[in-house]
Amino acid sequence: MTDLPHDLAAERAVLGAAMLAASAADDVDHLDPGDFYDHRHGALLALIRAMRESGQPVDLGTVGGRLLTDPIPGLAPHDLQGLAADVPTVGNASWYARIVADTAVRRRLIAAGMRVQQMAHGADDAPGSAAELCDRARVEIDAAATTSRSGPWVTVGESIAASLDEWERAAEFTPTAWPDLNRLINGWAPGRMYVVAARPGVGKSIFGVQAAADVARHGIGACVFSLEMGRAEIDARLVSSVGRVDYALLERRQLGDGEWRRIAEAVNRLSDLPLWVDDQVPLRVHDIRSRVRGLARTHPIRLVVVDYLQLLAAPAGSGRTARHEIVGEFSRALKLLAKELGVAVLVLSQLNRASEIRADKKPSMADLRESGEIEQNADMVALLHRDADDDPSRVAVAVAKNRQGERGGFPLRFAGQHCRLESMAKVRPIPGVA
pLDDT at 68: 92
pLDDT digits over 256-276, tens only?
888 898 889 888 888 889 999
Q: Is the pLDDT of residue 97 over 70?
A: yes
Residues 6 or more apart whose CB falls under 8 angstroms from that of 286 comprise 131, 132, 135, 315, 333
E-assigned strand segments in 301-393: 301-307, 344-350, 380-386
Q: What is the DSSP letter of 170?
A: P
Q: Is the pLDDT of residue 380 over 70?
A: yes
Q: Is the pLDDT of residue 432 over 50?
A: no
- What is d(CA 61, CA 66) in angstroms, rounded to the nearest whole number? 9
Average pLDDT over residues 59-68: 93
Distance (Å) of CA 3 to CA 37, 103, 106, 198: 10, 12, 12, 59
**Residue among 383, 395, 372 at smallest CA distance from 432:** 383
Q: Is the pLDDT of residue 1 over 50?
A: no
Helix, coil or strand: residue 95 = helix
Contact 186, 249 (CB under 8 A): no
* Residue 342 C-alpha from the chain's centroid: 6
Dihedral angle at the C-alpha atoms of 368, 374, 375, 380, nearest 10 degrees?
A: -110
pLDDT at 125: 53
pLDDT at 52: 83
Confidence of residue 10 (pLDDT cuts 50, 70, 90): very high
Strand order from edge to edge, sheet including 193-198: 275-278, 221-226, 301-307, 344-350, 193-198, 380-386, 394-402, 408-415, 420-423
Side chain identity at residue 408, one-letter code: G
- pTM of the full structure: 0.64
Confidence of residue 124 (pLDDT cuts 50, 70, 90): low
- What is d(CA 407, CA 399) in angstroms, rounded to the nearest whole number? 5
97-102 long-range Cβ contacts below 8 angstroms, 24+ apart: 97/10, 97/14, 97/27, 97/28, 97/30, 97/31, 99/7, 99/10, 100/7, 100/10, 100/11, 100/14, 100/31, 100/35, 100/36, 101/30, 101/31, 101/35, 101/147
Helix, coil or strand: residue 119 = helix
- What is d(CA 124, CA 345) in angstroms, rounded to the nearest whole number? 32
Express as a percent the part of the chain with pLDDT over 70.
87
Residues in the chain: 434
Helix, coil or strand: residue 344 = strand
pLDDT digits over 192-248, tens only?
999 999 888 888 999 999 999 999 998 999 999 999 888 889 988 998 888 898 888
Domains by residue range for the chain, with CATH: 8-144 (1.10.860.10), 179-423 (3.40.50.300)
- What is d(CA 303, CA 276) in angstroms, rounded to the nearest whole number? 11
- What is d(CA 344, CA 382) in angstroms, rounded to the nearest whole number? 15
Side chain identity at residue 61, one-letter code: G
